Structure 1
Amino acid sequence: MALRMATELGRRIRLEAAVEEVAVRPGGCRVRLAGGESLTADAVVSALPVGPLRSVAFTGVSEARLASLHRQRQAVAAKFAAAYDKPFWRSLDLNGLSECEGVLGSTWPQSEGILSALIPPERYGVLLGMPAPVRDHELLSDVARLYGAQAFQPFTSYLRLWGTDPWTQGYVTQWNPGDVMAVGPLHGTQKPPFYVCGSDQWVAGYMEGAVRTGRDTAREVLRHG
């Protein structure tokens, strides 16, 4: 969905342009990219996941706000999805929901004929230890133990290593005891001309949070001109 939306923006989207420094000032903000190029704007909207955000140097943002943003953490996890012509597990009177004992942590039906699975942080190292050519087969083996041999016959499958992707460095928000209080009441709030949005700035991540915070932030930007 994000890639499809990005195509409508054309050259206004810069890909693989890592941000190294952000200077926030009323009336004029500056963003410095890796390589030295600087961009200027009236406001800055950050949709960076909390992992990559920690590598950006900020000026003009309060210590309290930075402390709140930097205290957030994401689960080092991966997602696996297998797409089938039909939800074959239903013929076995199964609903596709499970908690697993293999590398997969859980499965759930993402859509008609699509079965998704999560590789949780405590099993992520096992996934990384798998040779890349055998990963799909071994993950499908976990699915087959739950739902039968038809699990080996998806028309496509997809694995995203969120936890070690340099642009994400994690999956959904991971709250440890004490984190909610440490992140505090600034979580998900705005201080023009610096705005934050994205799934991390919602309750617990996920696409719903990205959409909600994106819409809320857009309204705030428009309201402040």
Structure 2
Amino acid sequence: MISLRHARVRYGPLEALHDVTLCAPAPGLTVLLGRNGSGRTTVLRALAGTVPLTRGAVVWDGADVTGMPAYQRARRGLCLVPQRRAVFGSLTVRENLELAGADHTRFPQLAPLLARRAGTLSGGEQRMVALCRALSGHARVVLVDEPTQGMSPPVAARTYALLASLGACVVLAEQRLPPALRGRGALVYELRRGAVVFGGEADEWARRSGSGAAPSGG
């Protein structure tokens, strides 16, 4: 598993995370819920090591990795798929996949696009390319910020099914709890203004929030 313990993160004078503690099991699916500015993206970046903690710790499989650089975490099997700039736009789809040792078989829609430059694809198509490396089977921890942004509903449903079936620690950042993830035993943390306001199973969160309505807070 991977966890944050009493984590604080600052961007200049602003504190983005306030004493955040959460744990994502492995294998398992964890969903970070919250509106823009809630801190969910910062949680992913803190786990990946792309932003430093000002206080607290990142613990992975019982070891404190707070001081471990992001590239070393990646070598150990941590894969971060950010919301933006998740592909090399000047390279073709095929080249993007080859760099990650991945293929397009999980997203057959990419087959006719392999020769195109990734930067010319739609937002949903770029998400498929970026997710291929996370779904390649080599990652132990998969962190994805809004995985289905720009995708059609059928492709989004397939994406959630693929992520839920991974034998890895999977952490997703979402504004709302996707219906496709209900009933899959997902763990949910709701963040509001950089703090955790709920932690528990997805079904419990849906009951408390009124059948999965959008989370409140800023």
TM-score class, shorter: under 0.3
Structure number with higher relative contact order (C-alpha < 8 Å, ≥ 6 residues apart): 2
TM-score normalised to the size of structure 1? 0.26
Greater helix fraction, Structure 1 or Structure 2: 1
Q: Work out which of the two has the higher radius of gyration on C-alpha atoms and give 1 or 2.
A: 1
TM-score normalised to the size of structure 2? 0.26
